[in-house]
Amino acid sequence: AGSQIQGAAGIPRRSKRRKSIAIAYEPGQGDGPEPQRPRWEPRDWREQLERIREMRRSRDAPVDEMGVQKCYDSSAPPQVMRYQVLLSLMLSSQTKDQVTSAAMLRLRRRGLTVDTVLQMDEETLGQIIYPVGFWRNKVKYIKQTTAILKQKYGGDIPSTVEELVQLPGVGPKMAHLAMHIAWDSVSGIAVDTHVHRISNRLKWVKKETKNPEQTRVALEEWLPRDLWREINWLLVGFGQQTCLPVNPRCSQCLNQDICPAAKRL
């Protein structure tokens, strides 16, 4: 299941690092830099994107109402909020937003913090999060990850993608979403099954990609960085409502005339 990735209010922003400045060649200095080739872009992508924005205007998909950005306690201390964001992402893998939201609500009623989860036995934790997908594995991952957060990060979550993906049960998509929601930092495009599927249907990748991580790399090569923040949210909701995995509702899609995969009647 996907999750909205708009920055969470109340969670302190990270200090932005200074960007490295490219050194320009002075006139007459050697041969100068290699001329850049024109960047590849998918056909009609700007129009396709604008039409998807139009279709998502009502913000009434499951991701909008029960996505990760709705699962944490916004009145909790920032460190606790960040932990809850990470846990909701771990639960959301291969699980519908409705199921993740309900599991998070049950956890929060117990007082969802690093310490309360460490004190909880695996059987109890399993009973609380069931029926999320692969709940038995997630019980183990949550316990292991929470112990690492306590020992290595003082109960907080890491602030880099590199450290986040080292945690048990945390993949690249979750890491980029955690950076965005918990730290308000755009580190990359979060690609789940919806984004992966739709990107291939729209031919937003040069050649067909086999998994979400390949799709992330392919999208980041051409999609302007200022669009990275919204693309997950847009495509997840679009995939939940219109561009379905099976029997996509092409007749209801504004992109029907310019989508390579559209079923035209």
Question: How far apart are the C-alpha atoms of 150 and 143, rounded to whole Å?
Answer: 11
Token pair 């690093």 is found at: 114
CA angle 100, 67, 141 (to 5 degrees): 45
Q: Are 191 and 212 in contact (CB under 8 A)?
A: yes
What pLDDT band is residue 11 in, cutting at 50, 70 and 90?
low
Q: What is the DSSP string of 171-208?
A: -HHHHHHHHHHHH----S----HHHHHHHHHTT-SSS-
- The domain locations on the chain are 45-59+189-264, 72-183
Q: Are 210 and 198 in contact (CB under 8 A)?
A: no
Q: Which of 168, 157, 3 has its CA nearest to residue 71?
A: 3
Q: Which fold has domain 72-183?
A: Endonuclease III; domain 1 (1.10.340)
Which amino acid type is present at position 125?
L
pLDDT digits (tens, 9 = 90+) for 91-108: 999 999 999 999 999 999
Per-residue pLDDT, averaged over 37-55, amounts to 94
pLDDT digits (tens, 9 = 90+) for 114-128: 999 999 999 999 999
The catalytic residues are 173
pTM, two decimal places: 0.83
Evaluate whether 45-59+189-264 and 72-183 have a shared fold.
no
Question: How far apart are the C-alpha atoms of 57 and 153, rounded to whole Å?
Answer: 39
Per-residue pLDDT, averaged over 26-52, amounts to 77
Per-residue pLDDT, averaged over 223-246, amounts to 97
More confident residue, 99 or 35: 99
CA angle 57, 228, 256 (to 5 degrees): 50
CATH number of 45-59+189-264: 1.10.1670.10
Q: Are 169 and 210 in contact (CB under 8 A)?
A: no
pLDDT of residue 13: 53
pLDDT of residue 38: 75
CA distances from 85 to 40, 229, 261 (A): 35, 17, 35
Question: How far apart are the C-alpha atoms of 3 and 83, rounded to whole Å?
Answer: 16
Per-residue b/e over 8-25, b at no fewer than 16 CB within 10 Å? Answer: beebeeeeeeeeeeeeee
